[in-house]
């Protein structure tokens, strides 16, 4: 399956443009309703559509993207009158709004109704005498018509044997990209063959969204409400996930990024890796006392909400094995609120499923807003802040290398292992890590079968870890390199052992 990640496609340019324009509305609009109605005409301002067969369809899709970017829901397409673009606007034109599920939504007018799973013979078929495709087909689904192979789709069982043996690579496998990317089988089809998301199964990882070549899947955003909150004069403090490194341009250092956030209007900036530091210390202790001692068969990390929700949904017997430690986002939010009781907290990260985590009732009092790096880019662009020209006036020195490493697959487990080796030398540690929900499922099946006993298991929904999250800006390999550099620059590699409740913050 091809990977579009890190390529600046028209779909991505559109997403970015919508975030910028919605931020622009929040910052500058004096007549919100009219300005919002005018937006689709600004974005699709030509007579001929560049991307769809008509300018009207193009604008219809943009309208729904704007609604989602403003935290609103899609308008039902099956009503005789779908309602105005601004329908429900008043409920969104506020400075506090929690994400209402479903977070991930398919825009029906944008969906191409891709084939779910089929093999097709292309024009490259040479009609060879051997026709091995026919010989290996277990169902006799391939016949020769006018000297070329043809697949009878009624008989085909999608085994792929014909594709494997074709000497001319003339058989292609067409699979719906969003369905292929979904590790929990949440993508279904409606009567028209368009994709729909089963919200009971969806864990909001966003991999379907970044895999759709038509840009038909989008998630809700809180940028509009966050800007409203900043305008209201409330004290808003940002915490940034370690995966931010390199996301805003190769020349933008962590210190420049911190200054840019303050210029945008945040009262202060904390590293989410502080909460990760606290977490890996606690998880190291838990592993040594519970798993290494044989009291508990295995332990699962809890940082990735999509992985934790999937484990609870599909493997309810593992619930007691999932770490009870606060996720880094929540732990850091609590530290901020302890130090600044009058502040609201925004988590800025790479991840769509953190939006889901923050909307849980237990977390709402800690985390007020969640936005992604991609959405934040829209805010910077709307404000005209050029990050590469920022003079760094601040230093980012909160966390250790262990906490910063959480941004890359394997980083959580290796941080906990480093803590165990430091605090409990001589303890034997068994680490397993899985990236992508499909791989996570396999690991949980093995654990269920008793083949992961004594292990600390880290699960990440996104292949590559947080640097591959749905709200990131740059290619995954480049992002992993930047996080490694950021990790290396930390003053200490692991947090010092707890001294009372003060935690490992370096000021």
Q: Assess whether 316 and 382 both reside in one domain.
A: yes
In a domain, 154, yes or no: yes
Q: Assess whether 452 and 308 both reside in one domain.
A: yes
Q: Assess whether 376 and 480 both reside in one domain.
A: yes
Q: Assess whether 164 and 262 both reside in one domain.
A: no
Q: Assess whether 289 and 407 both reside in one domain.
A: yes
In a domain, 373, yes or no: yes
Q: Assess whether pLDDT exceeds 60 at residue 461.
A: yes
Tell me the residue range of the domain where 403 lies.
Answer: 232-488
Read off the pLDDT band of 131 (50, 70, 90): very high
In a domain, 82, yes or no: no
Query: Tell me: the pLDDT tens digits for 24-39?
Result: 999 999 999 999 999 9
In a domain, 264, yes or no: yes
Query: Tell me: the pLDDT tens digits for 46-105?
Result: 776 677 778 889 999 999 999 999 988 887 654 444 567 777 777 666 666 667 778 899
For 111-158, give the DSSP string: -----SEEEEE-TT----SS-HHHHH-TT--EEEETTEEEE-TTT---
Q: Assess whether 239 and 163 both reside in one domain.
A: no
Closest Cα to residue 98, out of 374, 331, 309, 358? 358
CA dihedral of residues 87, 111, 356, 310 (deg, nearest 10): 150
The predicted structure's pLDDT at residue 94: 63
Query: Tell me: the pLDDT tens digits for 289-348?
Result: 999 999 999 999 989 999 999 999 999 998 899 988 899 999 999 999 999 999 999 999
Determine the Cα–Cα distance for residues 17 and 234; give it in Å rounded to an integer.
Answer: 27
Which conformational region is residue 471 in: left (phi greater than 0), alpha (psi within -120 to 50 degrees), or beta?
alpha
Burial class (CB in 10 A: 0-12, 13-18, 19+), 32: middle
Closest Cα to residue 62, out of 81, 82, 44, 48? 44
The predicted structure's pLDDT at residue 101: 76
Closest Cα to residue 358, out of 183, 186, 208, 222? 222
Q: Assess whether 460 and 375 both reside in one domain.
A: yes
What percentage of the chain has pLDDT greater than the value 70?
Answer: 94
In a domain, 181, yes or no: no
Query: Tell me: the pLDDT tens digits for 132-173?
Result: 999 999 999 999 999 999 999 999 999 999 999 999 999 999
Q: The CATH number of the domain where 121 resides is what?
A: 3.30.70.20
- pTM as predicted: 0.91
Q: Do 306 and 297 meet the contact criterion of CB atoms below 8 Å apart?
A: no
Q: Assess whether 242 and 126 both reside in one domain.
A: no
Q: Assess whether pLDDT exceeds 50 at residue 13.
A: yes
Q: How many domains does the chain have?
A: 2
User: Under 8 Å CB-to-CB from 118, ≥6 apart: which residues?
Assistant: 153, 156, 158, 173, 174
Q: Assess whether 169 and 298 both reside in one domain.
A: no
């Amino acid at each position: 399956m091809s990977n579009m990640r890190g390529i600046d496609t028209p779909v991505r340019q559109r997403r970015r443009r919508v975030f910028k324009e919605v931020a622009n509305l929040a910052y500058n609009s004096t007549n919100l309703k009219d300005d919002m109605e005018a937006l689709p005409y600004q974005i699709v301002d030509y007579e001929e559509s560049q991307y769809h067969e008509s300018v009207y369809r193009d604008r219809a899709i943009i309208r729904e993207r704007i609604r989602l970017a403003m935290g609103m829901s899609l308008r039902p397409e099956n009503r005789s009158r779908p309602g105005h673009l601004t329908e429900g606007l008043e409920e969104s034109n506020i400075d506090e709004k929690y994400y209402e599920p479903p977070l991930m939504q398919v825009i029906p007018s944008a969906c191409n109704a891709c084939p779910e799973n089929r093999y097709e013979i292309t024009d490259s078929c040479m009609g060879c005498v051997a026709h091995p495709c026919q010989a290996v087909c277990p169902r006799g689904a391939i016949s020769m018509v006018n000297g070329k192979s043809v697949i009878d789709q009624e008989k085909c069982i999608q085994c792929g044997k014909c594709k494997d043996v074709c000497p001319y690579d003339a058989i292609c496998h067409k699979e719906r990209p969003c369905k292929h990317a979904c590790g929990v089988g949440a993508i279904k089809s409606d009567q028209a063959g368009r994709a729909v998301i089963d919200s009971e199964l969806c864990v909001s990882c966003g991999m379907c969204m970044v895999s759709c070549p038509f840009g038909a899947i989008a998630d809700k955003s809180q940028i509009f409400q966050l800007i409203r909150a900043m305008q209201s004069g409330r004290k808003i403090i940002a915490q940034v996930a370690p995966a931010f490194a390199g996301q805003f341009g190769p020349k933008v250092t962590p210190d420049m990024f911190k200054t840019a956030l303050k210029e945008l209007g945040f009262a202060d900036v904390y590293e989410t890796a502080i909460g990760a530091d606290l977490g890996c210390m606690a998880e190291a202790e838990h592993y040594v006392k519970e798993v290494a001692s044989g009291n508990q068969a295995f332990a699962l990390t809890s940082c990735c909400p999509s992985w934790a929700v999937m484990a609870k949904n599909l493997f309810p017997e593992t619930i007691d094995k999932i770490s009870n430690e606060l996720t880094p986002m929540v732990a850091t939010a609590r530290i901020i609120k302890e130090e600044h009781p009058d502040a609201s907290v925004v988590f800025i990260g790479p991840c769509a499923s953190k939006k889901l985590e923050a909307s849980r009732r237990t977390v709402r009092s800690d985390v007020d807003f969640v936005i992604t790096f991609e959405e934040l880019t829209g805010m910077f662009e709307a404000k005209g802040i050029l990050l590469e020209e920022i003079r760094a006036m601040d230093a980012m020195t909160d966390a250790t290398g262990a906490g910063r490493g959480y941004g890359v697959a394997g980083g959580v487990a290796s941080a906990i292992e480093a803590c165990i080796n430091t605090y409990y030398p001589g303890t034997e540690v068994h680490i397993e890590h899985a990236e992508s929900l499909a791989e996570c499922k396999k690991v949980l099946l093995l654990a269920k079968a008793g083949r992961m006993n004594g292990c600390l298991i880290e699960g990440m929904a996104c292949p590559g870890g947080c640097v591959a999250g749905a709200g990131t800006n740059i290619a995954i390999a480049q992002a992993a390199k930047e996080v490694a550099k950021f990790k290396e620059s930390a003053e200490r590699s692991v947090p010092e052992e707890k001294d009372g409740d003060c935690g490992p913050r370096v000021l």
